[in-house]
Chain A
Amino acid sequence: MRRTVLALSIAMLAAFAGAAHAADKAVVFAAASLTNALQDIAAAYEKKTGVHIVNSFASSSTLARQIENGAPAGIFVSADTQWMDYVDKRGLIDSASRRNVIGNALVLIAPASSPLGPRAIDAHLDWMKLLGGGRLALGDPDHVPAGIYAKQALQHLGAWDSLQSHLAPAEDVRAALVYVDRGEAPLGIVYLTDARQDPGVKIVGVIPEDSHPPIVYPFALVKGASSAARAYFAFLTGKTALAVFARYSFTAK
């Protein structure tokens, strides 16, 4: 009996060890707002090299905590510097590989059927009148990067105090987008890249760039990343990938 258990254990260990060294796969943990762009880039890479790319999309905060708890990611792309700093400080990434590759902008959106037209977003904007009793949908300003940027912008514009109790804090940016798309919320603040992809919403204003810290997406290799991950990292930050990002309205940095 003991010999059977021993043999089984060795076999299982060998199988897992083998899997860990599978040179044909790279795991990417990335912020949800990069979903479409990264899927296209991964498809292009797979077609070119045959290496299998696994993308895991979630909020940056969730991904950072997963990496902290030993999740097997090779590459981490965060939606803001805060969560990249978080894993950097804990020595979880290859600091030398960290770089800001792309940027984004925040926009004010409304349902496609809304009567609201485009306008300037400045300190004079009457937010309460625009909302008309409804709520402003955005990523949760407590922890979702897009929400954090939005809060900083609104604070800069002097509108945060009055808007604070009229928010619909969503689990992530995509959920905020859905709220506006469904007409549940009359207004929302999401990334330009998200707004461009949803025909159910229209952009009614651009949040001024100087009202919040620059929106950058830091990319980094996780410590102990496989050679496949390293190879893919180079592709991710290269010309072909940048063209894909541009197609989705991400800015180059």
Chain B
Amino acid sequence: MMLTPAELEALLLSLRVSVVAIACALPFALAAAVWLSHARFPGKTLVEGAFTLPLVLPPVVMGYLLLLAFGTRGPLGAWLLAHLGLRFAFDWKGAALASAIITFPFQFRAIRLALEAMDSGLAEAAETLGARALDRFANLTLPLALPGIVAGAITAFAASLGEFGAIITFVSNIPGETRTLPLAIFNALQTPGGNVEAARLSALSIILALIGVALAAIAQRRVTRLIGR
């Protein structure tokens, strides 16, 4: 199955958007999970709920909210444009942002669970051996949470490959810039006679998904062995 330039473009864009989305969301998910596993304050449950919200909101609503907040006139978008030169509208970075936020709950929850499952006695032992907080985090918490981090990232990556509603609403459907595989499939379906194209792109998506699942299984096994379980 040789790919047309348009199909290759959609595939590469999907990969780029998803990889960037997951990689950028990871440190935030890690920070949020670490914070909430230690902090105790009134309203903590609400904050946890907020971090899980993107899973529950309809993607189109999410896309619209992103437009309001991160559009060039939005409070966050204006600041980022002025200080970091970051533009999200009609740009692959907007697609990445949408994917990152929508799949954030997957990473957040997986890491949170991994941290909760950790034996706090190990942290005490490390402390008595002279390890300060940052030292314990880098040498104990992080390595032991790695299976959870990997699992979360893979789940998020898979979900991100399929993200549609938020992306098309936030950054529209620009070939080469925001037309990821799902948006390309949508386009093909909307055009009379585009069924064949839609089928090809769907097959491509399925192959991608299967490769992803296989890689995920390998990665999980490696990491679990690494931490000695």
Q: Which of A59, A143, A183, A185 gathers most chain B CB within 10 Å?
A: A143
Tell me the minimal C-beta distance from B9 to chain A in angstroms. 13
B contact face: mostly helix, strand, loop, or mixed: loop
* B62 contacts partner chain A, Cβ-Cβ < 8 Å: no
Set of chain B residues within 8 Å of A208, measured between Cβ atoms: none
B190, A182: Cβ atoms closer than 8 Å: no
Interface residue? B172 (CB, 8 A): yes
| Stretch binding the partner chain, chosen from A2-10, A155-163, A169-177 | A169-177
What are the residues of chain A within 8 A of B64 when measuring CB–CB?
178
B142 at interface by CB-CB < 8 Å: no
Interface stretch, picked from A19-27, A134-142, A230-238, is A134-142
Determine if A242 is an interface residue (Cβ-Cβ < 8 Å). Answer: no
Contact B187 A143 (CB under 8 A): yes
User: Which of B72, B89, B172, B187 is in CB contact (< 8 Å) with A142?
Assistant: B187
For chain B, the count of residues having a C-beta within 8 Å of the partner chain is: 19
Is there an interface contact between B173 and A86, defined as CB atoms closer than 8 Å? no
B115 within 8 A of A: no
Q: Which residues of B contact A184 (CB under 8 A)?
A: 67, 71-73, 89-90
Q: In terms of DSSP, what is the predominant structure of the interface of chain A?
A: mixed
- Which single member of B73, B169, B190 contacts A143 (CB below 8 Å)? B190
| A113 nearest in chain B by CB position | B73
Q: Is the CB of A142 within 8 A of B192?
A: no
- Name the residue of chain B whose CB is nearest to the CB of A61: B190
- Contact status of A183 and B73, CB under 8 A, knowing A142-B190, A143-B187: yes
The answer to whether B68 touches A182 (Cβ under 8 A) is: yes
> Is A142 within 8 A of B67, CB to CB?
no
Q: A171-B168, A182-B73 are in contact. Are A140 and B89 (CB under 8 A)?
A: no
Residue B128 CB within 8 A of the other chain:
no
Which of A86, A140, A167, A178 has a CB less than 8 Å from the CB of B67? A178
- For A110-137 the 0/1 string (1 means CB < 8 A from B) is 0000000000000000000000000101
Whether A167 and B190, one on each chain, are in contact in the complex, defined by CB atoms closer than 8 angstroms, is no
Inter-chain contact A183/B172, CB cutoff 8 Å: no
Q: Which of B33-86 contact A (CB under 8 A)?
A: 64, 67-68, 71-74
Q: How large is the interface on A (under 10, 10 to 19, 20 to 34, 35 or more residues)?
A: 20 to 34
Q: Are B190 and A168 in contact (CB under 8 A)?
A: no
- Asked whether, in the complex, the Cβ of A168 is within 8 Å of the Cβ of B90, the reply is yes
Taking CB atoms, residues of chain B closer than 8 Å to A76 are none
Residue B4 at the A interface, CB < 8 A?
Answer: no
What chain B residues lie within 8 Å of A142 (beta carbons)? 187, 190-191
Chain B residues, Cβ within 8 Å of A178: 64, 67
Inter-subunit contact B187/A183 (CB<8 Å): no
Q: State which of B71, B168, B174, B189 has its C-beta within 8 Å of the C-beta of A183.
A: B71
Q: Are B191 and A168 in contact (CB under 8 A)?
A: no
With a cutoff of 8 Å between Cβ atoms, the chain B residues found around residue A169 in the complex are 172-174
Q: Which residues of the partner chain A approach B71 to less than 8 Å between Cβ atoms?
A: 182-184
What is the minimal beta-carbon distance from B77 to any residue of chain A, in angstroms? 9
Known interface pairs A61-B190, A168-B90. Does A137 touch B73 (Cβ–Cβ under 8 Å)? no
- Name the 3 nearest CB pairs between A and B, nearest first: A143-B190, A168-B172, A184-B89
